[in-house]
Structure 1
Amino acid sequence: MKIIIPNWLIILGAIGQMFTAIIYPYIRHVVFDWYNDIQKLKPLNQEIAKTYGRYIQGLNFSFGLISILFTEDLKNQTSLAVALTGLIAAYWTGKVITQFSYYPMYDIPKIKIFKIGEVLMNTMFIAFALIFILLFVTNLVGYLK
């Protein structure tokens, strides 16, 4: 049985990944009041935290852009497709594990829109992980044949 992953699913995931990058500053500023918390750190630690935030934002956007521009290449079962879809799958799977392992102990503001946003964002993270796990497994099986 050959699994065919539709392009629209990959592109939908790509748009979602880019959306997370775009919305990331809003979440940090408004939902988590992140920059006020960062001010409590030493200057070097402030810059390290900001840098990692930019890395996350950049990776989310880049993975989305790659997925839109190279949709077919992400499915072609080459060694590069295996490596790249494996990387993206590991990234989002790690995000989901972290999200549910560590973040529940922190409270977000009890505003209805933030609670809805939390559910929608978590749903997207799980979807990204599943899409890229499926792509990775499909690529790996095809590559090993």
Structure 2
Amino acid sequence: MKIEIPNWLIIFGGYGQIFTAIIYPYIRHKVFDWYNDVKQLKPLNQEIAKTYGRYIQGLNFSFGLIAILLPNDLKNGTHLALAITGLIGAYWVGKVVTQIAYYPMYQIPQKLIFKSGSYFMNFLFILFSVVFTWLFVYNLLNQ
């Protein structure tokens, strides 16, 4: 039985990834007080931390654009579709595993907006993991 992945789901995942890229600086600043923590590092380590933050933001945005602009290409069974969906799927599965393994040890501010935002972001991360892993398996089976 072949289950087709709807384009709307891929596109929704794309918009969600762009949303995470846009909201990322706000979360770092308002929820985690990240910038004050980074200031305690040596100057080179500050720049490395900021650079990796930008990489994360850029990847989320880029993955979102790919999903929005090329949903059919992400499920066409080519080697490139397999590679891209594998990369995006592994990225988000890694994020979810990290979230489960390490983040529960830390407290986020208990304001309602941060608490509900935390649940929403976790929902998105799981959604991205499922959609892009599903796409990867779909492409793998259609080689």
Whether 1:142 aligns to 2:142 is yes
Q: CA deviation at 1:3?
A: 1.3
Q: CA deviation at 1:16?
A: 0.2
| Alpha-carbon separation, structure 1, partners of 2:127 and 2:38 | 30
Structure 2 counterpart of 1:38: 38
What runs of 5+ residues in structure 1 fail to find an aligned partner? none
Whether 1:10 aligns to 2:32 is no
TM-score, normalising length: structure 2? 0.99
Structure 1 counterpart of 2:86: 86
Which amino acid in 2 is paired with 1:67?
A: A
Percent identical = 71
TM-score, normalising length: structure 1? 0.98
Ranges of 4+ aligned residues in structure 1 off by more than 2 Å? none
- 1:102 aligned counterpart, secondary structure: helix
- 2:142 aligned counterpart, secondary structure: helix
Count how many residue pairs are aligned between Structure 1 and Structure 2.
143
| Alpha-carbon separation, structure 1, partners of 2:29 and 2:92 | 23
Q: CA deviation at 1:81?
A: 0.4
Which amino acid in 2 is paired with 1:47?
A: E
Q: CA deviation at 1:139?
A: 0.3
CA RMSD of aligned residues (A): 0.4
Q: Deviations over 1:15-56 (max 9, x none)?
A: 000000000000001111100000000000000000000000
Q: 1:40-59 residue pairs with structure 2 within 5 A? A: 40-59=40-59
Q: CA deviation at 1:10?
A: 0.2
Q: CA deviation at 1:2?
A: 0.8
What runs of 5+ residues in structure 2 fail to find an aligned partner? none
Q: Deviations over 1:73-117 (max 9, x none)?
A: 001000000000000000000000001100110111111110000
